Amino acid sequence: MVQRDERVAPFGVVAAAACAAILAHGGSLVVNVSPRGWLTLTDKTRWGLSPDAFLFAAALVIVCAPIVGVGATARQSNGRSLASSVAALATVVSTFTLVSAALTIGWRFGQKDVLAFTVRSHATLAAVAIALAAWGALCGRWFHNPLDAVGISLLTTLAAAGGLLLGGSVSAALPRSLVAAGLIASPLFAAASAAQIDLLHSDLLYQISPLAHVQIDYPTWTLATLCYLVAAAICLLTLAAANRRSSNLVHN
């Protein structure tokens, strides 16, 4: 009997990651184009679908990555090693990112910067995804009840994503350095800026957010990617230390 390598994520989870990327990009087509026009897209229309598709993908990452991380911790409680859980997370994130990148190339095909744009935007998206998944895994380690872990990891992630917007005029009055830090800490703004999406000056946010009316500088994709990779490393190292401490207590 052939045993499946424990380092590989369950096939269903990997398939779900691929389908999630397809649904995110397909959602952009459904929202912006009537069904009769799906097969007759002009280049201009197709290029215009890319920003919404990327934002939909980023939104899925923000909601789903912490949950996947909590699930990785559950794998550990079933006897899997930390390395196995990290490999599973990397497999899921890579699958989602690669499928989304391929679809982005399809939307933007014909533009000169399509490959460079796709690499920049999806490197940041992958870094955000692995950081949020690592945070979910750490919450799963801290809380005995998985539902508590999911709730706390999601709540903190959503607060980071929209905290500046919820702050209203208070956020607009903050020093620019704090606003810049808040934009990096927001997975939504970090991912959007890497994709060259001016989220604050979109029609809706320009009307409701005081931040849209002050001068701000979005983080570069390299800085955002580096920050989220460092955050992921900190979460994983903390998780490894907690596991080692628990193991020592058991043996003593």
Give the separation between CA 237 and CA 243, rounded to whole angstroms. 10
Q: What is the per-residue pLDDT across 92-138, written as a single tens digit (0 to 9) for each?
A: 999 999 999 999 999 999 888 899 999 999 999 999 999 999 999 99
Contacts for 57 with CB less than 8 Å, ≥ 6 apart: 21, 24, 25, 96, 100, 125
Please tell me the least confidently modeled range out of 39-53, 70-84, 154-168, 213-227: 70-84
In the chain, which ranges are E strands? Answer: none
Q: d(Cα 187, Cα 200) in Å, to the nearest integer?
A: 14
Q: Domain segments of the chain: what residues?
A: 11-251
Lowest mean pLDDT among 80-89, 139-148, 159-168, 233-242: 80-89
Please give the pLDDT value at position 136.
95
Distances (CA, A) of 85 to 39, 60, 80, 181: 41, 21, 7, 30
d(CA 68, CA 78): 15
User: What's residue 216's pLDDT?
Assistant: 83
Q: Kindly state the average pLDDT of the residues 60-72.
A: 93
Q: pTM for this structure? A: 0.89
Q: How far apart are CA 51 and CA 61, in angstroms?
A: 15
pLDDT(166) > 70: yes
- How does pLDDT run across 178-231, given as a tens digit for each residue? 888 999 999 999 999 999 998 888 877 778 788 877 888 888 999 999 999 999
Closest by CA position to 180, among listed 140, 223, 141, 222 = 223
Is 212 or 162 the better-scoring residue by pLDDT? 162
d(CA 199, CA 156): 21
Higher pLDDT, 62 or 211: 62
**Residues 162, 190: Cα–Cα separation, whole Å:** 12
Residue 3 has pLDDT above 80, yes or no: no
When pLDDT is averaged across residues 74-98 and rounded to a whole number, the result is 80
Distance CA 171, CA 20 (A): 33
Give the mean pLDDT of the chain: 87
Name the residue with higher pLDDT: 240 or 168.
240
